[in-house]
Amino acid sequence: MSINSGANVDLSGATWRKAGEGTGQDSVEVAMLADGHVGLRDGKNPDGPALVFTPAEWAAFTAGVHDGEFDRPE
């Protein structure tokens, strides 16, 4: 199952890797997909839904992460 503007994306052959340094049950998993798309799913629920980002969406997200856009306030 995937969510990508209503389009179905085949994730059956995806290679999922844990994102960041988390190795526990609460990790997020990422897969590089065809045409530059990126899949993101909950590591403790691998059979659940996955988000699929276009290359532009993923670039905007990672730029925001690098810029501290999602950092928690201190």
**By the 8 A CB rule, do 30 and 20 touch?**
no
What's the pLDDT at 9?
A: 78
Give me the half-sphere count of Cα atoms (radius 13 Å) on the Cβ side of residue 62: 12
What's the pLDDT at 12?
A: 85
pTM reported for the whole predicted model = 0.75
pLDDT band at 1 (very low <50, low <70, confident <90, very high): very low
- H-helix or E-strand spanning residue 63: helix 55-66
